[in-house]
Amino acid sequence: MKKNLSYILVITVLALLTGGWGSYGHKKISEASALSYNQEMQDFNLWASFLADHASDADYRKQDDPNESPKHYIDIDSYYAFLLQGRIPQTLDSVTGLYGHTFVYDNGILPYATVATVDLLQHFFELNDLENAKVVAADLGHYVGDGHMPLHITKNYDGDETGNHGIHSRYESTMIRKFVDQIIYTGDSVSVVPDVTSYVFKYIYNNYKYIDSVLLADDYATAIAGGATNNDIYTTALWDKSKGFTTQLMKNASHSLTELIYTAWVKAGKPSISANAIEEYEMAHGSYLAQLTPNPFENSAKIRYSLIENNLVDIKVLDLSGKLVDQLLHENKSKGYYELEWNPGNIAPGVYYMVMTTEDSMRVRKIVHL
């Protein structure tokens, strides 16, 4: 499991990502989760930029992993039980037992995947494996965000059944990208969630009522724009009609993410999330790569790393597409602490990733060259 998640980390940090609430919306939700951190969670601010930067990693995996896509939605109104009673079986075993594996996965497993991700996060906290805990927490942010996006919880996800074809991307991507800076909200107090399954399904059921609100906003904006749906008049009208509930949905998503992370952390015994704890964990597992200093930087930056045993060390700089920008080191090193300096020379300013690999570990740090 750990090896697979480390691989996911390396793949996903090297991509420009889209999806879900749109990359802008997912980043906003995960970034703003810090607004609800209580006093106990202050060390989680060390994770804030990581959770935001990797909020759409799960979308990227859909291209290569056929098992990923069903985790991002649930066509809950495909279930007769939901239409009749307003709820469905809340464990994956029970729902597949009643409806069959094919039906369930064809209609998405978003809430079940969310609950499983909380369990996995707690597991890594219990192991004090903060590297993989961060990766899982970033995925959790994505699934929680999808659960608060009304068009991810209905079979009418793109408006085809109501004459609103194409509304999915117009709402979650085009509109959010244009107005994300106007989506402003505060945090709320958090507490331990006693029943994670009920908690997740409760917000899914509650958010279902906003589907009609999105469709009505689309009808309104289309009318204002004279039937067009691809111009600024339409997008602005869509925002004007939907900004109230859209902001509330994203606020609720940010708060739910914090509350679920907090719950997993508390149930795992509240392991230390301090910078020293991260260094101690990485050192105990072969190597530690510090963040560049300074970062951002202009002319040069110091790189510090350490090894718990003799090892072949490879340090390189990659751009966001994964292309090699600079090879800094590739040689055998004895255990100990090291420092080297990176002078980017003619390399263009931008965001890059520094990747250090040894025979048994891999570390990735985001760097900004001004």
Report pLDDT digits (tens) over 246-255.
999 999 999 9
Report pLDDT digits (tens) over 199-230.
999 999 999 999 999 999 999 999 999 999 99
Residue 308 pLDDT > 60: yes
| 17 and 147 inside one domain | yes
Q: Is residue 47 assigned to a domain? A: yes
Percent of the chain with pLDDT over 70: 91
- Whole-Å CA distances, 261 to 23, 139, 193: 21, 11, 10
Q: What is the pLDDT of residue 4?
A: 45
Decide: 153 and 73 in contact? Cβ < 8 Å: yes
Output the domain CATH number for residue 171.
1.10.575.10
Give the tokens for residue 203.
């917000």
Q: Which of 110, 20, 115, 113 is nearest to 74 (CA)?
A: 110
| 221 and 332 inside one domain | no
Task: Give the C-alpha separation, 365 to 13, whole Å.
Answer: 9
Give the tokens for residue 208.
């279902």
Q: Is residue 273 assigned to a domain? A: no
Report pLDDT digits (tens) over 136-189.
999 999 999 999 999 999 999 999 999 999 999 999 999 999 999 999 999 999
Report pLDDT digits (tens) over 309-348.
899 999 999 887 778 999 999 999 998 889 899 999 899 9
* Stronger pLDDT, 3 or 214, i.e. the higher one: 214
> ∠ at Cα 78 (73, 83), nearest 5°?
115
Please tell me whether the peptide bond between 294 and the residue prior to it is cis, using omega within 30 degrees of 0.
yes
Q: What is the pLDDT of residue 276?
A: 61
Q: HSE, CB side, 13 Å, CA atoms: give it for residue 7.
A: 6
* Stronger pLDDT, 362 or 208, i.e. the higher one: 208
**For residue 328, what are the domain limits?**
286-369
Residue 259 pLDDT > 80: yes
Q: Is residue 272 assigned to a domain? A: no
| 246 and 363 inside one domain | no
Report the domain count for the chain: 2
| 221 and 290 inside one domain | no
Residue 178 buriedness (CB in 10 A; 0-12 / 13-18 / 19+): middle
Q: What is the pLDDT of residue 46?
A: 82
Query: Residue 268's Cα: distance from chain center in Å?
Result: 21
Q: Is residue 190 assigned to a domain? A: yes
| 90 and 219 inside one domain | yes
Helix (H, G, I), strand (E, B) or coil at 333: strand
pLDDT band at 364 (very low <50, low <70, confident <90, very high): confident
Q: Is residue 161 assigned to a domain? A: yes
> ∠ at Cα 56 (188, 240), nearest 5°?
60
Q: Which of 339, 314, 318, 307 is nearest to 328 (CA)?
A: 314
Choose the final residue of a domain: 267, 302, 323: 267
Q: Is residue 281 assigned to a domain? A: no
pLDDT band at 1 (very low <50, low <70, confident <90, very high): very low
Decide: 8 and 57 in contact? Cβ < 8 Å: yes
Decide: 181 and 246 in contact? Cβ < 8 Å: no
| 34 and 181 inside one domain | yes
Q: What is the pLDDT of residue 118?
A: 98
| 336 and 220 inside one domain | no
Task: Give the C-alpha separation, 345 to 299, whole Å.
Answer: 8
Q: Is residue 276 assigned to a domain? A: no
| 24 and 138 inside one domain | yes
Choose the final residue of a domain: 267, 296, 312: 267
Output the domain CATH number for residue 323.
2.60.40.1930
| 237 and 307 inside one domain | no
Choose the final residue of a domain: 239, 267, 295: 267
| 117 and 146 inside one domain | yes
Q: Is residue 349 assigned to a domain? A: yes
Give the tokens for residue 262.
């907090």
| 173 and 296 inside one domain | no
Q: What is the pLDDT of residue 13?
A: 40
- Whole-Å CA distances, 266 to 48, 123, 125, 257, 281: 18, 12, 9, 14, 19
Distant-in-sequence, close-in-space partners of 211: CB < 8 Å, separation ≥ 6: 150, 151, 153, 154, 156
Q: What is the DSSP letter of 362?
A: E
| 329 and 204 inside one domain | no
pLDDT band at 359 (very low <50, low <70, confident <90, very high): confident
Give the tokens for residue 184.
């402003």
Residue found by looking up tokens 């003799």 in the block: 310
Task: Give the C-alpha separation, 283 to 56, whole Å.
Answer: 28
Residue 202 buriedness (CB in 10 A; 0-12 / 13-18 / 19+): middle
Report pLDDT digits (tens) over 36-74.
999 999 889 888 888 988 899 999 888 888 899 999 999
Q: Which of 203, 226, 85, 92 is nearest to 153 (CA)?
A: 203
Q: What is the pLDDT of residue 14?
A: 38
